[in-house]
């Protein structure tokens, strides 16, 4: 902060902004308007307050707020327009003595850019607005921002070329809206009034864009206000530099006729007549030169047209040959297409006739065979024919489905093989690197220096002081060890007994389930044989049956696709998950009796 005496209001506001939340800063910055517009301030006091505002960073705060999203501010666009006016007022009359390059080359151009961006957004909102109240508000805020821009480059003349060369200024000027176009032309009029030679300082492309837009407004609108503003601007440009008048007569040849026919008698005849006098004067002075240039241009055009005609006549036979060749090729292609289409239709018709003839012969053969078959064997023969037909249909359907599934899985199979190849290469690479690490010479670890050792010892001592270890006697430790060993032995014994009891329960439950299954599948007493009694007297048959089922389940598990075994990479090959077996064998008999 500066050491000189500071305005108490500025100092209090700076302190309040420093302690406030970010969303409250825009409303606090609006208090600068009351400070700057105080009637008791003189010229020197006002400049001193502006210097304090810049030194305390309040002007930079205003610039940062203008760069934010204006719709999120308190007061939205009205607050943004007022801050733009405050920022422009702070910059005019301010003479920075400490680091002036930062102020003139960085801060002021950034202010101009921010004000033009704000003006462009307000113009867009004004054009999109529907209600009259909203349009009036946006137009009022737009005029405030443009007045702030005029006030700023009025106090700093060196900013005028930068304003003209800014793309936002050209976007603001190039608009079809009447009211904002008049406002922007008034801004351009102020620029030319303050610095009449500014158009000669900008690039030629920028100059042509500005003049093109002014002439376009004259030719595309019938509004007297737009025409008057554009005519006055062109007159001011023509009076400021004679070179620009020559540009008018050379670049806009229909400008004199446009002014005399369309804009005479619209209420600003004096400006129109003055501009026409300047244009006619320039035309009469340069008439001889223009006549020479016109004759030279006619000669060049005549020579060029003759050359182009001779060249075109030389290429004419070749063009005719090319055209005939392309026509014959296209006609031949169309004839081939028609011939092929007729052949396809004839082939389809022939195939259909052959299919019908084969079907008719097949039915006739079947009827002849049915006449040879005995009446009692007709049903059996028809059933056999139906089974053969069904098998044929099933065979073709399975083949079609298998081919379709194969085509669908072909890409995934390629991806799987590619993944396997990549994994194999990665594993080989990791194995080679591991072997290299094992064969690498042993390196002695780098020791600690005396300073590091002392610092580490100090940290250890501090930690021991903060976390002292609990003291326990040797007898107490032995007693706790004995108790832990005793509880562990009790737990292991109880766990072993629980496991044996669970095994017995499972065996008994499996035996009951086996008996229930045998009883459910047993034949009636009238059809019982000695072999059936053996199934109930001996446990070997149900055990063999369940063992066969377990074996089939294990074989089925081994045939599972790879994507069902993604979670079993670290299982042994001869181990089958218990869940897979239990789903198939919920009642496996365990041989033996209790």
What is the model's pLDDT at position 571?
Answer: 47
Cα→Cα distances 265→234, 258, 268, 270, 339, Å: 18, 13, 7, 10, 75
Report the alpha-carbon distance of residue 514 to residue 587 in Å, rounded.
7
The vertex-57 CA angle with 55 and 63, nearest 5°, equals 130
What pLDDT sits at residue 357?
A: 92
Would you give the end-to-end CA distance of the chain in angstroms? 97
Four-residue CA torsion sign, 232, 238, 239, 241: positive
Mean pLDDT by 10 residues, the chain (594 residues): 60 76 74 70 72 75 75 73 80 75 80 83 84 84 85 78 81 82 84 79 81 82 83 81 74 77 78 79 63 83 90 83 90 93 93 91 82 76 86 93 88 89 93 79 68 90 82 83 91 90 88 79 74 65 73 84 60 46 42 37
Please report the pLDDT score of residue 5 as a whole number. 62
pLDDT for the residue 334: 93
CA distances from 352 to 55, 111, 361, 556 (A): 98, 84, 14, 48
User: Tokens representing 398?
Assistant: 């399975």
Helices assigned H by DSSP within 440-529? 450-466, 474-521
- Give, as one character, the DSSP assignment of residue 39: T
DSSP states of 559-589 as a string?
Answer: TS-GGGGGGGTTS-TT---HHHHHHH-SSPP
pLDDT the model gives residue 138? 84
Q: What is residue 337's predicted lDDT score, i.e. its pLDDT? A: 93
The DSSP call for residue 440 is S
Question: What's the pTM?
Answer: 0.45
pLDDT at position 585: 41
Q: Specify the CATH number of the domain 8-284.
A: 1.25.10.10
Q: Which two tokens stand for residue 1?
A: 């902060």
Q: In this predicted structure, what is the pLDDT of residue 328?
A: 92
Question: Quick check: 238 and 275 in contact, CB under 8 A?
Answer: yes
Q: Which of 238, 236, 239, 215 is nearest to 227 (CA)?
A: 215
CA 546/CA 328 separation, integer angstroms: 83
pLDDT at residue 72 in the model: 67
Residue 390 is predicted with a pLDDT of 92
What are the structural domain ranges in the chain? Answer: 8-284
How far is it, in rounded angstroms, from Cα 36 to Cα 53? 10
């Amino acid at each position: 902060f500066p050491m000189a005496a500071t305005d108490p209001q500025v100092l209090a506001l700076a302190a309040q902004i420093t302690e406030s939340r970010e969303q409250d800063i825009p409303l606090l910055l609006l208090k600068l308007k009351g400070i700057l517009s105080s009637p008791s301030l003189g010229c020197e006091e006002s400049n001193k307050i502006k210097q304090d505002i810049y030194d305390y960073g309040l002007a930079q705060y205003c610039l940062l707020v203008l760069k934010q999203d204006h719709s999120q501010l308190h007061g939205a666009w009205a607050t943004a327009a007022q801050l733009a006016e405050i920022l422009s007022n702070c910059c005019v009359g301010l003479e920075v003595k400490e680091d002036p390059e930062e102020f003139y080359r960085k801060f002021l151009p950034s202010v101009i850019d921010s004000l033009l961006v704000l003006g462009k957004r307000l113009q867009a909102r004004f054009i999109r607005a529907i209600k009259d109240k909203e349009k009036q508000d946006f137009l009022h805020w737009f005029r405030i921002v443009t007045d702030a821009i005029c006030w700023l480059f009025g106090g700093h003349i060196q900013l005028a070329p930068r304003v003209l060369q800014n793309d936002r200024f050209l976007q603001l000027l190039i608009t079809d809206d009447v009211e904002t176009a008049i406002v922007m032309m008034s801004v351009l009029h102020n620029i030319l009034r303050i610095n009449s030679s500014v158009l000669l300082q900008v690039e030629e492309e920028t100059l042509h864009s500005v003049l093109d837009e002014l002439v376009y407004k004259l030719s595309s609108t019938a509004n007297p206000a737009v025409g008057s503003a554009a005519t006055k601007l062109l007159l001011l440009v023509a009076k400021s530099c004679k070179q620009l008048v020559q540009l008018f007569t050379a670049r806009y040849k229909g400008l004199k006729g446009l002014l005399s026919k369309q804009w005479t008698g619209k209420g600003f005849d004096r400006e129109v007549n003055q501009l026409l006098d300047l244009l006619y004067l320039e035309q009469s002075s340069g008439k001889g030169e223009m006549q020479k240039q016109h004759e030279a241009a006619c000669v060049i055009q005549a020579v060029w047209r003759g050359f182009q005609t001779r060249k075109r006549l030389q290429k004419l036979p070749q063009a005719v040959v090319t055209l005939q060749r392309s026509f014959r090729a296209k006609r031949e292609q169309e004839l081939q297409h028609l011939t092929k289409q007729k052949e396809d239709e004839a082939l389809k018709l022939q195939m259909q006739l052959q299919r019908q003839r084969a079907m008719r012969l097949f039915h006739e053969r079947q009827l002849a065979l049915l006449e040879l078959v005995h009446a009692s064997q007709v049903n059996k023969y028809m059933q056999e024919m139906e089974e053969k037909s069904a098998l044929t249909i099933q065979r073709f359907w399975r083949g079609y489905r298998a081919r379709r599934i194969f085509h669908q899985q072909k890409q995934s199979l390629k991806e799987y093989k590619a993944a396997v190849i990549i994994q194999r290469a990665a594993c080989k690479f990791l194995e080679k690197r591991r072997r290299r690490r094992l064969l690498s010479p042993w390196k002695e670890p780098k020791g600690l220096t005396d300073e590091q050792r002392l610092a580490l010892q100090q940290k250890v001592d501090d930690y021991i002081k903060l976390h002292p270890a609990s003291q326990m006697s040797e007898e107490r430790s032995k007693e706790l060890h004995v108790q832990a060993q005793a509880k562990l032995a009790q737990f292991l014994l109880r766990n072993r007994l629980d496991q044996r009891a669970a095994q017995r329960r499972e065996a008994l439950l499996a035996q009951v389930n086996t008996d229930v299954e045998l009883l459910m599948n047993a034949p009636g007493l009238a059809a019982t044989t000695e072999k059936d009694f053996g199934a109930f007297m001996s446990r070997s048959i149900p055990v063999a049956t369940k063992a066969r089922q377990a074996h089939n389940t294990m074989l089925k598990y081994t045939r599972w696709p790879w994507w069902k075994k993604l979670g079993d990479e670290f299982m042994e090959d001869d181990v089958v998950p218990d869940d897979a077996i239990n789903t198939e064998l919920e009642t496996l008999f365990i041989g033996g009796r209790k």
